[in-house]
């Protein structure tokens, strides 16, 4: 039982100051990390701070961001989605097969989104209705979806032959900005709005902050859990078709790095795995940290293996630092 000992000094103004204090600790720290990484890599390698490289980074980061958006809601409500990478692989493989067999053109986009949503709904139904921990459910479907996808691909990379389809990803409606990054930023804006301004967003926070409280008060918890997984799947599907368009092909390794990168980006951004704290707006920062780290280390010629080590340490350090800085703030 925790009673705050601050009853004598609860002027409304003090509350506002405290809220700001918490915002700074939670949000400014990852932004600081982004900026320091930026400065560090700019000084270390001349190839980093160039427009060309920013185009490249934004293209690489876009898929990760799109996939992370939905997964952030899942983490926000206190669950976890390990299967996003597998959904990307399966949707990518299916879409490219369909795209090559039928001339559906840009209709591949809604097709991929709906397929992703369907796969996410499967996750959500098993999790919410079957009352199985989401970790287990998505661990299982991770394997199932990957297996189906690899069967479909027969272990090979398939290229698509729809002419001009890659424009949706690598075309540049805005000069220097690949379309995939544009879509990612738009999707981010929409999701930030959903997170902050809608019933769905509010319920995600409530379920993550106190599922028992929400359930006791009559919040349709089960239904919204399914919605969240459906949205996560939908965005993974979108991410998949855009990634395929960008790469020109779907291969067995599509999405394989998303499992770890997505969780790392969400957590580094400041959404707590315990649920109820954080939000989609923060995930952008997490994605930037991961993407800049990847790109900068590559440019510096650091070996892949050392990169893995550094990335892992950065994730742990980022969370560790924030945990101690929040310790006195959030009593929970």
Partner 1 sequence: MPSSYQQEEVRPESDAVGNLLEVRALSKSYGPVKVITDVSFDVPRRSVVTLVGENGAGKSTLFNILSGLTRSDSGELRLAGNVYAPTSNSHAAMLGVTRVFQEQSLVHNVPVYENLLMGEEARFTRFGQWVDRKAMIAAAHRIIEEAGLDVDVRRQTGDYDFSTRQSIEIARACLTPTLLRGLKEPLILLDEPTSALDRRDEEAFFDLVRKVRAYGSLLFVSHRLSEVLNISDIIYVLKDGEIVTRVTPSETNEHELHGHMVGRERAADYYYEGRQNARSDKSPALKVEGVRLSAGGPVVDLSVQPGEILGIGGLLDSGKSELGKAIAGVTPPLEGQVSLGGRPAARPNVESLISAGLGYIPAERLVEGIIPAFPVGWNLSIGSGDIFSSLLGLWLHRKERRVAQAHIDALAIRSATPGLPMQRLSGGNQQKVVLARWIERRPEVLILDNPTRGVDAGAKQEIYRILRDLTDEGIAIILITDELLELLGLSNRILIMQHGGVTSEIEAPAHAKPEEQDLVARMLPSGKSPRADHPSLKTEFLEAAE
17 in contact with partner 1 (CB under 8 A): no
Does residue 78 bind partner 1 (CB under 8 A)? Answer: no
Chain CA centroid to CA 180, Å: 15
Give the total of residues touching partner 1 (CB under 8 A).
37
323 binds partner 1 (CB under 8 A): no
| One residue of 50, 159, 161, 198 binding partner 1 per CB under 8 A | 198
Q: Which of 43, 107, 217, 306 binds partner 1 (CB under 8 A)?
A: 217
Q: Which is nearer to partner 1, 145 or 224 (CB)?
A: 224
7 binds partner 1 (CB under 8 A): yes
Shortest Å, Cβ 17 to partner 1: 12
Angle at which helices 51-76 and 280-299 cross, to 10°: 140
- Residue 15 within binding range of partner 1, rule CB under 8 A: yes
227 binds partner 1 (CB under 8 A): no
Quick one: which of 75, 184, 206, 230 contacts partner 1 (CB under 8 A)? 206
Under the binding rule (CB under 8 A), the answer on residue 332 touching partner 1 is yes
Neighbours of 48 (CB within 10 A): 21
Which span sits near partner 1 by CB under 8 A: 23-31, 91-99, 218-226, 313-321?
Answer: 218-226
Per the CB < 8 A criterion, the answer to whether 148 and 115 are in contact is no
Q: Closer CB to partner 1, residue 6 or residue 100?
A: 6
- Angstrom CA distances, 156 to 63, 150, 153, 269, 280, stand at 21, 8, 6, 35, 35
Q: Which of 41, 160, 165, 203 binds partner 1 (CB under 8 A)?
A: 203
Report the alpha-carbon angle 146-152-154, nearest 5. Answer: 95
176, 216, 302, 306: which one binds partner 1 (CB under 8 A) = 216
Residue 275 DSSP label:
S
Name every residue whose Cβ is closer than 8 Å to that of residue 41 and which is 6 or more positions away in sequence.
48, 49, 292, 295, 296, 299, 300
- Residue with smaller CB distance to partner 1, 5 or 51: 5
Does residue 187 contact residue 238 with C-beta atoms inside 8 Å? Answer: yes
Rounded to 10 deg, the angle between the 280-299 and 304-326 helix axes is 150
62 in Cβ contact with 235 (< 8 Å): no
Contacts of 181 (CB under 8 A, 6+ apart): 58, 59, 61, 62
Question: What is d(CA 332, CA 324) in angstroms, rounded to the nearest whole number?
Answer: 14
- Is residue 12 at the binding interface for partner 1, with CB under 8 A as the rule? yes
Minimum separation from the CB atom of position 276 to partner 1 (A)? 7
Q: How far is the CB of 256 from partner 1 (least distance, A)?
A: 35
Residues 268-287 that bind partner 1 (CB under 8 A): 276-277
Helix (H) or strand (E) holding 159: strand 158-159
Q: Which of 220, 306, 308, 309 binds partner 1 (CB under 8 A)?
A: 220
First to last CA, the chain: 10
Q: Per CB under 8 A, does 212 bind partner 1? A: yes
Sites of contact with partner 1 (CB under 8 A): 1-7, 10, 12, 15-16, 19, 197-203, 205-206, 209-210, 212-220, 276-277, 330-332
């Amino acid at each position: 039982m925790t009673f705050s000992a601050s009853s004598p000094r609860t002027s409304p103004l003090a509350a506002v100051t405290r809220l700001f204090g918490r915002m700074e600790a939670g949000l400014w720290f990852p932004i600081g990390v982004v900026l320091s990484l930026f400065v560090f890599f700019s000084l270390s390698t001349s190839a980093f701070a160039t427009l060309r490289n920013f185009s490249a980074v934004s293209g690489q980061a876009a898929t990760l961001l799109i996939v992370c958006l939905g997964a952030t809601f899942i983490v926000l409500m206190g669950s976890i989605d390990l299967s996003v990478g597998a959904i990307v692989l399966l949707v990518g493989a299916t879409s490219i097969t369909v795209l090559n067999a039928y001339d559906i053109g840009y209709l591949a986009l809604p097709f991929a989104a709906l397929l992703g949503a369907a796969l996410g709904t499967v996750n959500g139904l098993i999790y919410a209705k079957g009352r199985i921990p989401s970790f287990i459910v998505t661990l299982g479907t991770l394997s199932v979806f990957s297996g189906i996808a690899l069967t479909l691909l027969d272990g090979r990379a398939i290229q698509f032959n729809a002419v001009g389809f890659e424009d949706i990803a690598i075309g540049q409606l805005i000069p220097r900005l690949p379309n995939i990054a544009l879509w990612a930023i738009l999707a981010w804006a929409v999701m930030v709005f959903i997170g902050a301004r809608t019933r769905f967003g509010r319920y995600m926070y409530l379920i993550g902050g106190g599922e028992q409280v929400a359930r006791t008060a009559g919040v349709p918890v089960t239904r919204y859990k399914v919605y969240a997984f459906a949205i996560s799947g939908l965005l993974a599907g979108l991410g998949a078709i855009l990634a395929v368009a960008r790469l020109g092909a779907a291969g067995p390794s599509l999405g394989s790095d998303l499992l770890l990168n997505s969780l790392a980006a969400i957590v580094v951004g400041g959404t707590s795995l315990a649920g109820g704290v954080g939000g989609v707006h923060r995930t952008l920062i997490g994605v930037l940290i991961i993407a800049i780290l990847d790109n900068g280390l590559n440019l510096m010629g650091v070996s892949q293996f050392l990169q893995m080590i550094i990335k892992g340490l950065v994730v742990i350090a980022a969370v560790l630092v924030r945990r101690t800085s929040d310790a006195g703030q959030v009593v929970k």
